[in-house]
Structure 1
């Protein structure tokens, strides 16, 4: 199992791409600006998109992806790309993106009978099997309905992505029963902006330290969603943790392999 980090920044700037991960070439987990670095052929091989929530930095590439691959997938007689998300997330796409004003409705193009996109709801606790991958939907605690995902890597353990979240006891209760190999967890702001982190239901280092204290064992922890310009401050504060976990900043282009 190979997971490519296409983007992991909390906003855009030179060299910063927003959240997206590519699982074995066919499953996209979130659809931020990092998707744009894929070739057309790589884009056309994506069969599933798993969305954590409806915020723009996580969904903005979906419409552009559909537009880019529509003709190629039709020529290859591929079915629609299935977009999985909470009902509220999918409704937000219908209302605010695929509405004919912001973007065409690619759930009805090139035809209602054979669209390039299909929307499929999920719920926390669901287990999906996508292209032979077993993926569990995890809870998240954000300003809009949100989820995280855990991908089963077999004997190697689980790859876990929290999505955007503030403090979330339910997540740690579930992870207590999992062998976690990699944890991708957000820390959007430094402690100097802890009030903003609290209001926006993100983590800062102080909150992250409290959250990770609930994670058993010694885990490879990858920090994602840091805002541009905040990297040094966030990682300096994190480096002061007394923790058994191995904590690193995630980087676009990074590859994680579970065997």
Structure 2
């Protein structure tokens, strides 16, 4: 499984882009930064987008991606996948013919976008991958994903989450014999901002440690996403002090193979 980091920042600034991860060239995990970085040819290969929640920094490239697909006459539909409340918010607040045209109905005979609701805890086969959504603790309805490829390689992506994600129960159930190959998990704030992190549904390095202790097996790779760029250096130092060798801060533009 190849994961290209298009964006992994908790704020948008020069050289810091909102979250989006391209898996095996065809599948996106969130869509904060897509069209400004991928060529038209690369965009045309995208068939599925898994959305963790409907905050703008995780969905803002969907409108321009849909527009490019239409203009370039790409024949296949892009399926946007998420839990019911997330898709409901996406449709009501973005693809609503006010903020942006509703590309789930354009063109009328063959829309560019489709919405597919999935339930937390159920196993789905989508695009050749096993997919399970698990609840995470954010300030709006949100879900992370357990993704398993045809070779049994397993990736867990939390999206934005604070302490207490229900996702871990399902991860433990799926990893009784082998550890997760990679966990992409957020750390937005440094330890001194713990109270703000909890209020807004985010993690600090210390809170991350508490979440990792809930896992029966530590993942082979623990890849950190969503740090506020203003605090990235102190977050990196605090993560290093945890003494967990699997932890690595993601780098934008890099491709990770698991």
Provide TM-score, normalisation by structure 2: 0.92
Q: Secondary structure at the match of 1:239?
A: helix
Contact 2:136–2:165 under 8 Å retained in 1: no
Distance 2:233 2:185 in 1: 17
Contact 1:185–1:224 under 8 Å retained in 2: yes
Distance 1:68 1:208 in 2: 38
In structure 1, the residue matched to 2:236 is 235
Contact 1:3–1:24 under 8 Å retained in 2: yes
Which deviations, in whole Å up to 9, do the C-alpha atoms of 1:191-247 show, x marking residues without a partner? Answer: 12111101001001111111112233443111100011111111111111144x511
Contact 2:137–2:165 under 8 Å retained in 1: no
Contact 1:19–1:34 under 8 Å retained in 2: no
Distance 1:35 1:216, change over 3 A: farther
Distance 2:73 2:256 in 1: 28
In structure 2, the residue matched to 1:128 is 124
Cα deviation for residue 72 of structure 1 reads 2.3
In structure 2, the residue matched to 1:61 is 61
Cα deviation for residue 34 of structure 1 reads 4.2
For structure 2, the 5+ residue unaligned runs are none
The RMSD of aligned alpha carbons is 1.6
Distance 1:204 1:155 in 2: 33
Runs of 4+ more than 6 Å apart: none
Q: Give the number of aligned pairs.
A: 253
Cα deviation for residue 100 of structure 1 reads 1.9
Distance 1:73 1:49 in 2: 19
In structure 1, the residue matched to 2:111 is 115
Provide TM-score, normalisation by structure 1: 0.92
In structure 1, the residue matched to 2:140 is 144
Counterparts of 1:145-160 in structure 2 under 5 Å? 145-153=141-149, 157-160=153-156
In structure 2, the residue matched to 1:4 is 4
Distance 1:193 1:181 in 2: 30
Distance 2:154 2:211 in 1: 18
Counterparts of 1:6-21 in structure 2 under 5 Å? 6-21=6-21
In structure 1, the residue matched to 2:187 is 187
Alignment partner of 1:85 is 2:86: no
Cα deviation for residue 155 of structure 1 reads 5.5
Distance 1:83 1:36 in 2: 19
Cα deviation for residue 133 of structure 1 reads 1.7
Contact 2:129–2:150 under 8 Å retained in 1: no
In structure 2, the residue matched to 1:104 is 101
Distance 1:214 1:66 in 2: 39
Distance 1:128 1:217 in 2: 24
Cα deviation for residue 59 of structure 1 reads 0.5
* Worse-superposed segment, 79-88 or 216-225: 216-225
Q: Secondary structure at the match of 2:230?
A: coil
Q: Secondary structure at the match of 2:22?
A: strand
Distance 1:213 1:222 in 2: 16
